[in-house]
Amino acid sequence: MNTLMDTANLTTKRPPGPPTPWLGLPLLRSMRRDYLGFMQQTQKTYGDIAYMRHGYEHAYDLFSPDLMREALVDNVEHFIRWERGISVFEEAFGQSVLVTEGDTWKRQRRMLTPVFSARHIAGYAALMTAAARRALGDTVPASETNAVVDVEALMARVTMDVIMRVLFSSSAEADARDAATATQILSATAMNEMYWPFTVPMWLPWPGNGKKRWAFRTLRGLVHRHIEERRRTPAGDAPADDLLAILLAARDEENPTLGLSAKELFDQCMVLFQAGHETSATALVWWSRLVAERADVSQRIQKEINDVLQGREPTAADAPRLDYLQATLKEAMRLYPPIPALMSRRAVRDVQLGGWTIPRGSLVRIAPWVAHHDARWFADPEAFRPERFVAGAESPPRGAWMPFGAGPRVCIGQHFAMLEMTLVAAMLMQRYAVSIDKVNSERPEGVMNVTLRPRGGMRVRFSRTT
Ligand code: HEM
């Protein structure tokens, strides 16, 4: 199936790992049941690097910050992304920067990088606050002083509205509900398909294929409609500074006559739309729950917001001054990283990691979840302690906190996401006090659907403060 795998040198001594009877296939069942729990248990039992076999696949799991960075940063040129994950994503995101490799990836990443520069991102702040104002305004009905809020729906609405405004200068309200459902269907399907060796063609009458077809149609239709509208708009009347305008004008600095092809443009819009809202929404969902559980944390955030903002709306310039609020967001992403695992890579030659030889063709898996919950890097790891991330606190070892990945393929939208989450969280806390009560006293557990969703949804009580 894969020439790299056929020629792998597998006689080398291997790190310890679980026994793999039946070619390790039963292990896949355990992983499917609880991937993150399985990985944590593997680390506890076998240490920071573990080997296991599933069928033809020889997999190495890396758990320490040093080993994860050795793979993602120091030896980046010796790995490509795991083809199965990529082929699942490729169905949704085509030949976009999330999926491509080699020179195509380098060219796309080069062209997209300026779009996410500090200057451009600061320019999006007003769009972010406009989206937050709109969604937060009617979260608690005007006739009530408080309400139990479905924060998954709320955060999906805000972050989708943000990305629609930033990408297309359009509000998401009209498309939001269908697009949110479509996003969730695609994430859940993608997670399932990762365990299959191939993807069932979408035209086959296969369980789930009908829903999947609808989800693709919905999202592709949305992106296609906005691009077509823009192409029809006379140049002088079209927005000049949204992401679509910037992508249309983007040229490769090494070859200034080259822009993005129509297909590449569509694929980048799809990936920015998807990657750009679901992850930030997931982070805000867990953050709101963690803050709601802790009156002391929520009061400290409110005090900081009052001191810095004095009742006005936040801007990009305020974000660095909201140090404690940002620490709560970082700590929430430590406990519940929106992408807790699946940063998997294939070795394209023999690689030395932590003194072990990883033979060419092997799979290397990275699950930041495990390091995020490791007491060696974070004392009392299950406790929500924003103080770990305030200015001046002792930093964890490099790579121990890795919600955005690391190395050249680090999340291109990380600064965008931090600004967006800070502005939305600040505006939420300006309007509401968040708490939990009998109806929602149990914190839901996380379910990995590519992103880490709360099982059974997430509800938080919002009480007006103004
Ligand atoms: C809290 C929010 C976010 C989190 C936790 C997050 C996380 C990640 C992670 C872990 C990766 C690397 C995956 C790997 O190495 O295999 C990644 C890549 C990426 N992210 Fe994000 N992301 C977030 C927000 C965003 C936003 C807002 C955008 C765009 C508007 C975005 C666009 C991308 C793209 C395009 C890539 C692929 C980069 C490449 O391969 O060169 N992300 N993200």
120-151: pLDDT as tens digits: 899 899 999 999 999 998 889 888 899 999 99
CA 96 to ligand 1: nearest atom: 35
Give φ, ψ of 155 to 5 degrees: -70, -35
Alpha helices in 76-146 (DSSP H): 83-93, 102-112, 118-123, 125-137
Lowest mean pLDDT among 117-131, 207-221, 237-251, 406-420: 207-221
Which H or E run includes 459?
Answer: strand 459-464
Which H or E run includes 432?
Answer: strand 432-435
In angstroms, what is the span from residue 306 Cα to ligand 1's centroid?
A: 32
How much is the pLDDT for 33? 87
CA 268 to ligand 1: nearest atom: 35
pLDDT over threshold 80, residue 343: yes
Most trustworthy range by pLDDT among 83-87, 272-276, 419-423: 419-423
pLDDT over threshold 80, residue 439: no
How much is the pLDDT for 196? 52
pLDDT over threshold 50, residue 401: yes
How much is the pLDDT for 427? 98
In angstroms, what is the span from residue 410 Cα to ligand 1's centroid?
A: 7
DSSP reduced 3-state for 343 = coil
Distances (CA, A) of 410 to 113, 406, 407, 417, 449: 12, 5, 5, 13, 20
Give φ, ψ of 123 to 5 degrees: -65, -20
Which H or E run includes 335?
Answer: helix 323-335
DSSP reduced 3-state for 204 = coil
Lowest mean pLDDT among 29-33, 315-319, 349-353, 421-425: 29-33
CATH 3.90.1170.50 holds for 3-430+444-464:
no
CB 54 within 8 A of CB 38: no
How much is the pLDDT for 93? 67
Q: Which of 301, 292, 336, 335 is nearest to 439 (CA)?
A: 292
Residue 220 — pLDDT band, cuts 50, 70, 90? confident
pLDDT over threshold 70, residue 272: yes
Across the range 204-223, mean pLDDT stands at 75
Q: Mean pLDDT in the chain?
A: 87
How much is the pLDDT for 462? 96
Residue 26 is encoded by which pair of tokens?
């039963």
Is ligand 1 within 6 A of the CB of residue 305?
no
pLDDT over threshold 80, residue 253: no
Is ligand 1 within 6 A of the CB of residue 98?
yes
Is ligand 1 within 6 A of the CB of residue 401?
no
**Looking at per-residue confidence, does 206 or 456 come out higher?**
456
pLDDT over threshold 70, residue 289: yes
Lowest mean pLDDT among 178-182, 286-290, 308-312: 178-182
Domain locations in the chain as residue ranges: 3-430+444-464
In angstroms, what is the span from residue 455 Cα to ligand 1's centroid?
A: 23
How much is the pLDDT for 31? 87
Is ligand 1 within 6 A of the CB of residue 343?
yes
Is ligand 1 within 6 A of the CB of residue 24?
no
Is ligand 1 within 6 A of the CB of residue 160?
no
Taking only the tens place, the pLDDT of each residue in 358-394 is: 999 999 999 999 999 999 999 999 999 999 999 999 9
Across the range 425-432, mean pLDDT stands at 97
pLDDT over threshold 80, residue 197: no
Across the range 23-47, mean pLDDT stands at 89
pLDDT over threshold 90, residue 5: no
Across the range 195-202, mean pLDDT stands at 50
Q: Is 0.85 surpassed by the pTM of this model?
A: yes
- 435 pairs with which residues across the strands? 461
Q: How far apart are CA 417 and CA 57, in angstroms?
A: 35
How much is the pLDDT for 453? 92
CA 337 to ligand 1: nearest atom: 5
CA 271 to ligand 1: nearest atom: 35
How much is the pLDDT for 254? 75
Q: How far apart are CA 353 and CA 284, in angstroms?
A: 35
How much is the pLDDT for 7? 39
Distances (CA, A) of 107 to 101, 111, 112, 269: 10, 6, 9, 16
